[in-house]
């Protein structure tokens, strides 16, 4: 057996703590084990490395993060054929060395798979069990894909280590912030602590945390007890242009007011700023971070972003009633929704820093108080929605019959598989919507065969179905949809795969209901596998030019506990497997870009719509079954990064900012395939990169 290539990679320092070096020609296109010699192991326990592979054509393959001090035996990495450079960025090293020397030995794909499987055994076993339930024939393809994902994910960094590396604030850091931001322009801030009049501990702790502020002191610390009158009196007593609103039990980080004041100055003194948060126990240990989405109407209706400190401009609270309740969460939500009604939602911003720590004895607004605020907003705006109590709230959009314009459902299909008849008939039988028709678009090269003719004849017995034959040498998903849409005259267009069936009869009415919001241009549905785990809950954009379905394979039982997969929210993209849009928007965009024949055409369509200011919403209440398991495993091979490279590069170059840092995915969360809810190492696209406290 020939000896496997091996080499020593010497990475020279190219920045404060960044190192890079060439990939040896003999190792390109191989799986390797990189190892740090024991003598070079750092002594610090909170030290991490971010690894990237640079490609010859200018692209980057993010490999992931690892805690170097715990990986003396090395870690597995794949070096693509067109890789040219290994780049490592260190975080937390007390004295970064002049160079990093790594051992690198090529291993077989089987050896790499075994190594990855050993390091991620629980996750891999769960992937195998999922595949066996969905489609045993696809188990090897799915296993192969899962191994590829795990080989790029790296090691999950614990939150305690992440905080030590990237959330270290002290007086010196705040002083730097003050110098950079021109402190003279910082607005004065009052702190308003809302409480129920019960135990004094949470209120006293919150007031004490505000008094300990670094860099800027609150002009006044006001408290508001139970009842709307107390809240009104406290707001009237405030004389500062901004009020930092807190609920008793929410502890301000010492640097919080300085960051908020500097942010307000840099952003032109907007109406509302809100920040991330976490929980803290009585020993001071932090856990359970809440990294929030940017301000968007659909997410706000669930009230999920309304905890933690909010900085609200005093005039933005004019007319705010908080639903008649003295709760900080209700006050925040009411203020935001009233701004939205005035068309001023653009004056609100998320600050991606953890600025509040929640004590275990925090006072939380009851669901009824939050529901009252949202219900009042729905009444004022006449949206076709109802509120279901819960924490967070569930707001259910559903267009009533009087608000159900005609929808044309376009289904591209070869009409050869037996499942086509079953699923399209299910759409016809289980869709509770007043006015819709279906166009089955068949792309073929030559005359239809007997199976196709038989399937079409069976479908078109229903007067709501017609078929369209499109002659083409090769199938092009975008072209088929564009031609089919041109044959319709409906106000709304729904793209649907031929392997989808409704799980809720009102799925289409729900999606149409979301379009009652004029700021929404595209709506996607919650798609499930046959075992009811998530197949699609929106799409997050990844740096390699692809997308990842959010919460894929999350079990149904977990979504019933209030996880975000159950909540409607705005996203960058939804899948074209079930996509609803207005004809006016479709025509304005010129339909789908036919230069993307199979993949990425839905991504491109959504991102171009967002450029026009149209929101893209994932509607969690619109539930359908997606039998993707019929061809399960074919799209997840280890060579996925090599396929469709030209399309991916074109798409990424067209929308570089979205792929570098998806605006609807917190910059504190990972963008590694298969691990989008791990912690980002390092955090991305932060508003204060010039003063961000980073290890090393």
For 645-673, the pLDDT digits (tens) are: 788 888 989 999 999 889 999 999 998 87
Least confident window among 18-22, 105-109, 144-148, 521-525:
144-148
Q: How far apart are CA 625 and CA 623, in angstroms?
A: 7
Candidates 255, 104, 100, 71; CA nearest to 175 is 255
Q: How far apart are CA 332 and CA 272, in angstroms?
A: 9
Pairing of strands 189-194, 48-55: unpaired
Give 643's pLDDT tier (boundaries 50, 70, 90).
Answer: very low
**646: its two tokens:** 């030209």
Q: What is the pLDDT of residues 555-606, one digit of tens each?
A: 776 665 545 557 899 999 999 999 999 999 999 999 999 999 988 999 999 9
Phi and psi torsions of 395, nearest 5°: -105, 120
Q: How far is CA 228 from the centre of its chain?
A: 36
* Burial of residue 1 (number of CB atoms within 10 Å: 0-12, 13-18, 19+): exposed
Q: What percent of the chain has pLDDT over 70?
A: 86
pLDDT at 691 over 70: no
**329: its two tokens:** 């969460």
Report CA-CA distances (Å) from 96 to 16, 19, 693, 695: 8, 10, 16, 10
- Look up residue 216 and give its DSSP letter: S
- Mean pLDDT value across residues 159-168: 88
Q: How far apart are CA 4 and CA 212, in angstroms?
A: 60
Q: How far apart are CA 476 and CA 489, in angstroms?
A: 22
Sequence-ordered list of residues with C-beta below 8 angstroms from that of 248, at least 6 positions apart, any chain = 193, 194, 195, 196, 202, 203, 205, 206, 362, 363
Least confident window among 83-87, 108-112, 296-300, 412-416:
108-112
Least confident window among 69-73, 258-262, 533-537, 580-584:
69-73
Candidates 273, 346, 351; CA nearest to 313 is 273
Give 290's pLDDT tier (boundaries 50, 70, 90).
Answer: very high
Residues 206, 248 contacting (CB under 8 angstroms): yes
Q: How far apart are CA 250 and CA 252, in angstroms?
A: 7
Residues 385, 395 contacting (CB under 8 angstroms): yes
Q: How far apart are CA 527 and CA 430, in angstroms?
A: 15
Least confident window among 178-192, 344-358, 364-378, 506-520:
178-192
Residues 301, 392 contacting (CB under 8 angstroms): no
Phi and psi torsions of 201, nearest 5°: -55, -55
Report CA-CA distances (Å) from 215 to 170, 256, 270, 695: 10, 9, 21, 22
Bridge partners (DSSP) of residue 78 are 31
Q: How far apart are CA 603 and CA 55, in angstroms?
A: 24
Phi and psi torsions of 415, nearest 5°: 60, 35
Measured N-to-C along each axis, helices 367-381 and 328-341 cross at an angle, to the nearest 10 degrees, of 10
pLDDT at 323 over 70: yes
Q: How far apart are CA 560 and CA 497, in angstroms?
A: 26
Average pLDDT over all residues of the chain: 87
Pairing of strands 189-194, 242-247: parallel
Residue with tokens 């004389």: 239
Q: What is the pLDDT of residues 121-147, one digit of tens each?
A: 666 666 666 666 655 555 555 566 665
- Mean pLDDT value across residues 400-417: 95
First to last CA, the chain: 44
Residues 267, 321 contacting (CB under 8 angstroms): no
H or E element in which residue 205 lies: helix 200-211
Give 614's pLDDT tier (boundaries 50, 70, 90).
Answer: very high
**123: its two tokens:** 């996750």
- Mean pLDDT value across residues 191-195: 95
pLDDT at 14 over 60: yes
Measured N-to-C along each axis, helices 109-119 and 139-153 cross at an angle, to the nearest 10 degrees, of 70
- Residue ranges with strand state E in 2-59: 6-13, 18-22, 30-35, 48-55
Q: How far apart are CA 168 and CA 174, in angstroms?
A: 11
**Three-state secondary-structure class, residue 125:** helix
H or E element in which residue 508 lies: helix 507-514
* Burial of residue 331 (number of CB atoms within 10 Å: 0-12, 13-18, 19+): buried
Better pLDDT: 485 or 690: 485
Q: How many residues does the chain have?
A: 696
Longest alpha-carbon distance in the chain: 83
- pLDDT recorded at residue 6: 82
- pLDDT recorded at residue 142: 58
**Three-state secondary-structure class, residue 397:** strand
- pLDDT recorded at residue 633: 37
**64: its two tokens:** 């992931």
- pLDDT recorded at residue 136: 56
Sequence-ordered list of residues with C-beta below 8 angstroms from that of 138, at least 6 positions apart, any chain = 131, 629, 631, 632, 633, 634
Domains present along the chain, CATH in parentheses = 6-155 (2.60.120), 166-390 (3.90.550.10), 401-660 (3.90.550.10)
Q: What is the pLDDT of residues 214-229, one digit of tens each?
A: 989 999 999 998 777 8
Query: In the chain, count of helices (H) and strands (E)?
Result: 20, 30
Residues 496, 427 contacting (CB under 8 angstroms): yes
Residue with tokens 């506990």: 561
- pLDDT recorded at residue 631: 34
pLDDT at 515 over 50: yes
């Amino acid at each position: 057996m020939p000896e496997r290539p091996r080499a020593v990679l010497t990475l020279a320092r190219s920045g404060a703590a960044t190192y890079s070096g060439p990939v040896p020609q003999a190792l390109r296109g191989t799986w390797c084990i990189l190892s740090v010699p024991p003598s070079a192991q750092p002594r610090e326990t909170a030290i991490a490395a971010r690894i990237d592979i640079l490609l010859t054509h200018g692209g980057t393959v993010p490999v992931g993060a690892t805690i170097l001090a715990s990986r003396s035996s090395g870690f597995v990495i794949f070096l693509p054929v067109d890789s040219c450079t290994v780049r490592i960025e260190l975080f937390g090293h007390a004295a970064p060395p002049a160079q990093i020397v790594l051992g690198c030995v090529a291993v077989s794909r089987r050896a790499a798979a075994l190594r990855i499987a050993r390091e991620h055994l629980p996750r891999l076993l769960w992937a195998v069990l999922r595949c066996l339930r969905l489609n045993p024939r696809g188990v090897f393809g799915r296993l192969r894909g899962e191994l590829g994902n795990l080989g790029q994910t790296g090691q999950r960094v614990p939150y305690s280590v992440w905080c030590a590396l990237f959330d270290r604030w002290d007086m010196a850091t705040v002083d730097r912030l003050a110098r950079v931001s021109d402190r003279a322009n910082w607005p004065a801030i009052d702190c308003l602590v809302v409480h129920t009049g019960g135990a004094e501990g949470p209120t006293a702790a919150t007031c004490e945390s505000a008094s300990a502020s670094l860099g800027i002191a609150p002009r006044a610390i006001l408290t508001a007890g139970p009842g709307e009158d107390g809240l009104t009196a406290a707001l009237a007593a405030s004389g500062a242009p901004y009020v930092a609103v807190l609920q008793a039990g929410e502890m301000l980080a010492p640097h919080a007011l300085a960051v908020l004041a500097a942010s307000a100055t840099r952003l032109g003194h907007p109406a509302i700023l809100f920040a991330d948060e976490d929980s803290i126990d009585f020993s001071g240990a932090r856990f359970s971070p809440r990294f929030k989405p940017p301000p968007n109407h659909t997410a706000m209706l669930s009230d999920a972003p309304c905890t933690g400190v909010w900085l609200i401009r005093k005039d933005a609270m004019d007319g705010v009633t908080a639903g008649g309740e003295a709760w900080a969460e209700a006050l925040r939500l009411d203020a935001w929704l009233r701004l939205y009604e005035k068309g001023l939602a653009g004056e609100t911003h998320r600050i991606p820093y953890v600025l509040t720590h929640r004590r275990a004895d925090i006072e939380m607004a009851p669901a009824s108080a939050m529901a009252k605020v949202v219900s009042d907003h729905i009444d004022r705006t006449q949206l076709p929605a109802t509120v279901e109590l819960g924490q967070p709230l569930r707001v259910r959009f559903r267009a009533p019959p009087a608000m159900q314009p005609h929808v044309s459902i376009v289904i591209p299909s070869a009409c050869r598989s037996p499942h086509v008849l079953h699923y399209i008939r299910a759409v016809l039988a289980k869709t509770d919507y007043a006015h819709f028709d279906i166009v089955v678009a068949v792309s073929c090269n030559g005359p239809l065969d007997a199976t196709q003719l038989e399937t079409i004849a069976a479908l078109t017995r229903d007067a709501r179905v017609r078929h369209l034959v499109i002659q083409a040498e090769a199938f092009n998903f975008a072209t088929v949809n564009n031609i089919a849409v041109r044959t319709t005259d409906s106000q709304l267009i729904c793209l649907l795969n031929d392997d989808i069936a409704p799980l809720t009869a009102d799925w289409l009415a729900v999606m149409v209901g979301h379009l009652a919001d004029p700021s929404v241009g595209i709506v996607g549905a919650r798609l499930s596998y046959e075992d009811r785990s998530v197949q699609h809950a929106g799409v997050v954009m990844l740096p390699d030019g692809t997308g990842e379905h959010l919460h894929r394979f999350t079990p149904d039982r977990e979504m019933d506990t209030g996880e975000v997969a159950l909540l409607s929210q705005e996203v960058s993209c939804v899948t074209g497997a079930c996509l609803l849009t207005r004809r006016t928007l479709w025509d304005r965009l010129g339909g789908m870009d036919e230069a993307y024949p199979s993949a990425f055409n839905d991504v491109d369509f959504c991102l171009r719509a967002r450029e026009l200011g149209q929101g893209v919403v994932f509607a969690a209440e619109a539930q359908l079954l997606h039998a993707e398991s019929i061809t399960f495993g074919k799209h997840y091979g280890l060579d996925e990064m090599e396929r469709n490279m030209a399309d991916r590069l074109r798409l990424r170059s067209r929308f570089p900012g979205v792929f570098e840092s998806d605006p609807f995915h917190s910059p504190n969360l990972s963008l590694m395939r298969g691990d989008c809810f791990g912690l980002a190492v390092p955090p991305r696209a932060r508003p204060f990169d010039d003063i961000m406290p980073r290890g090393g």
